[in-house]
Chains A and B, each alone.
Chain A
Amino acid sequence: MPTIIRGAVIQFPGSNCDTDCQAALASFPEIEAEIVWHKETSLEGYDLIVLPGGFSYGDYLRCGSIARFSPIMGAVRHAASTGGLVLGLCNGFQILCEAGLLPGTLMRNRGLLFRCEHQHLRVENNQTPFTSNLALGSVVNFPIAHGEGSYFADPKTLAELNANNQIILRYADAAGTVSDSVNPNGSLENIAGICSHGRNVFGLMPHPERACDALLGGTDGRAIFQSVIDTFSEGKRA
């Protein structure tokens, strides 16, 4: 029997990628995935916590600003601070930034367009529990779907992210060239995804869970979840 990894997908009012995430996780025989309502207060026994995409609380005030105070966030914060794996996708990334679990913030897209398309991304760091299955410098193709995905951080924070290798994915072209012309939203330095200093919290605007089935146009996203499986099966985590 393979190692069974227990995944929790947090459902906030307004989440809309929760069942997609659950289906993507459950497509791996090594993962069991459950939806956990945001009013729960414990995440004991889960190995992977996913904050899914959507429009939590209608994006009122700012994206993620109200979800950040949901009862479950105490347990998410506890998991993050004790080395648990936390993955924030799209709105989940916005929530992690609002909660201070990842630095910086996501602002309105440059040009104001809601960008909904397939997007190439270059892998900038594969020494993380979420990207170990990917080659450094390789290119993956994930869908993006957001209106507020322009990553911003002050110059000091940005320098620290670069120095600590916390930038995991950048918007690129199919050949892996990072340039402003392929930046869909005006993110600083084409940043699409970052991780915490401890590597255990990962947030990204693209949707790997929507790239887990060939019927949906691509399977590049499977590498993210396979990396998590490898992390556990190689005994790097209990």
Chain B
Amino acid sequence: MKAVVTVMPKPAILDPAGVATGLAMEHLGLKGVRSVRIGKSIEIEVDGADEKQLNEIAHDLLSNPVVEDYKLTILP
């Protein structure tokens, strides 16, 4: 099974790395930068796991539910 877990800071959370990167984009001449937010994309290949197990791993290990949301996508 292949899966991708995308972890992003929750919308209400300040992402200082995203803000700094957005400023760099403006320095490079990109106009109208409204928001930049940085997360993680974690690609997983695993044998014999089910979606429930992967959700538990994504919730308990790959993300911190206090400040992050995750999305699990099972690849065909």
Task: Give chain A nearest CB distance to B7 CB in angstroms.
Answer: 9
Residue of A nearest to B12 (CB): A154
Is there an interface contact between A65 and B64, defined as CB atoms closer than 8 Å? Answer: yes
A152 within 8 A of B: yes
Residues in A neighbouring B62, C-beta threshold 8 A:
61
Task: Give chain A nearest CB distance to B53 CB in angstroms.
Answer: 15
Q: Please pick, from A66, A112, A186, the residue contacting B17 in the complex, using a CB distance under 8 A.
A: A112
Chain A residues touching B, range: 10 to 19
B50-76 at interface with A (beta carbon < 8 Å): 61-62, 64, 66-67
Is there an interface contact between A105 and B16, defined as CB atoms closer than 8 Å? Answer: no
Is there an interface contact between B16 and A98, defined as CB atoms closer than 8 Å? Answer: no
Is there an interface contact between B61 and A65, defined as CB atoms closer than 8 Å? Answer: yes
Is there an interface contact between B67 and A110, defined as CB atoms closer than 8 Å? Answer: no
Task: Give chain A nearest CB distance to B66 CB in angstroms.
Answer: 5
Task: Give chain A nearest CB distance to B36 CB in angstroms.
Answer: 14
Residues in A neighbouring B13, C-beta threshold 8 A:
107, 152
Q: Provide the bound-state CA to CA distance between A112 and B20, in Å.
A: 8
How many B residues, CB 8 Å from partner? 11
Q: Provide the bound-state CA to CA distance between A69 and B62, in Å.
A: 12
Q: Provide the bound-state CA to CA distance between A214 and B62, in Å.
A: 42
Contact A110/B16 with A105-B67, A154-B66 known, Cβ cut-off 8 Å: yes
B44 within 8 A of A: no
Q: Provide the bound-state CA to CA distance between A61 and B40, in Å.
A: 9
Residue of A nearest to B18 (CB): A108
Residues in B neighbouring A153, C-beta threshold 8 A:
66
A-B contact pairs, 25 of them (CB 8 A): A61-B40, A61-B61, A61-B62, A62-B64, A65-B61, A65-B64, A69-B61, A98-B64, A105-B64, A105-B66, A105-B67, A107-B67, A108-B16, A108-B17, A109-B16, A110-B14, A110-B16, A111-B16, A112-B16, A112-B20, A152-B66, A152-B67, A153-B66, A154-B66, A186-B14
**Chain B residues in contact with chain A, CB under 8 A?**
13-14, 16-17, 20, 40, 61-62, 64, 66-67
